[in-house]
């Protein structure tokens, strides 16, 4: 029975002309790309909760590899004198979840994705969807086409400032120099209705326990680390 239901859901998605046209228009507007086989993109937009057999997870892996390759090539060409470590740091900042989520929300993909996934919370899948769509474009076209699209999206984000270390890394380096154990980051459910998490950063040796309510754990950890760095600088 479950298999039949999943099959019917997939069948209805593929036969919905309005949805197909919506996907075609969204991809054209977001990437300036004309789709050849829309089935790649139906799969790229579909969460596993809708279909266990025809969802974006395989395309996401492909898209992630393609993104890593062409971002690396872009940085390698643009910065011929940078070390492999510098290129790695810059690439990580361009392909991390936070950056990909920002790019996703700047595109015009939300409407068809919501329709396919019954308004599944896009914040949970946005970076995955972006990678899966890049995988779909690769299969639907060729290397040069997807490379050009990636360059168009990411070139404006590339600058020397990407080499600046984030707050957590700076705090870690300071503690290492001072021979102080590294901080402990924890998160739990927030008691405030407007937030999902209570995020903490503890350094017992310095009597530090910074906390904040937030909806995003990783970005909150960066904010807490910067707060601690500011306090350390004030005392020095």
Using an 8 Å Cβ cutoff, are 89 and 15 in contact?
no
131 is catalytic: yes
Spatial distance between the Cα atoms of 46 and 38, rounded to a whole number of angstroms: 13
Q: Is 152 left (phi over 0), alpha (psi -120 to 50) or beta?
A: alpha
Closest CA relative to residue 229, chosen from 154, 153, 177, 194: 177
Closest CA relative to residue 130, chosen from 71, 197, 218, 52: 71
Spatial distance between the Cα atoms of 23 and 31, rounded to a whole number of angstroms: 12
Of the residues 10, 64, 101, 210, which is catalytic? 64
Burial of 201 from C-beta contacts in 10 A (0-12 / 13-18 / 19+): buried
Spatial distance between the Cα atoms of 231 and 228, rounded to a whole number of angstroms: 5
Using an 8 Å Cβ cutoff, are 62 and 135 in contact?
yes
Of the residues 10, 60, 101, 131, which is catalytic? 131
64 is catalytic: yes
Spatial distance between the Cα atoms of 113 and 126, rounded to a whole number of angstroms: 10
Using an 8 Å Cβ cutoff, are 195 and 216 in contact?
no
Active-site residue set? 64, 131
């Amino acid at each position: 029975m479950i298999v039949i239901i999943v099959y019917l859901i997939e069948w209805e998605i593929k036969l919905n002309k309005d949805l197909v046209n919506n996907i075609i228009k969204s991809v054209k507007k977001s990437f300036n790309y004309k789709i050849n086989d829309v089935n790649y993109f139906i799969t790229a937009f579909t969460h596993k909760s809708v279909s266990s057999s025809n969802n974006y997870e395989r395309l996401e892996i492909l898209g992630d590899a393609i993104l890593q390759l062409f971002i690396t090539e872009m940085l390698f060409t643009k910065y011929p004198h940078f070390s492999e470590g510098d290129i790695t740091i810059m690439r990580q900042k361009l392909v991390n979840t936070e950056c990909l989520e920002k790019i996703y929300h700047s595109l015009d993909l939300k409407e068809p994705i919501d329709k396919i996934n019954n308004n599944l919370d896009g914040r949970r899948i946005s970076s995955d969807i972006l990678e899966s769509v890049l995988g779909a474009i690769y299969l639907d076209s060729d290397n040069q086409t997807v490379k050009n699209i990636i360059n168009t999206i990411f070139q404006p984000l590339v600058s020397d400032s990407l080499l600046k270390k984030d707050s957590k890394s700076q705090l870690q380096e300071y503690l290492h120099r001072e021979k102080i154990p590294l901080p402990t980051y924890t998160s739990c459910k927030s008691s405030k209705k407007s937030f999902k998490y209570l995020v903490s950063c503890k350094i017992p040796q310095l009597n530090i326990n910074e906390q904040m309510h937030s909806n995003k754990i990783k970005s909150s950890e960066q904010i807490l680390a910067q707060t601690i760095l500011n306090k350390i600088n004030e005392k020095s």
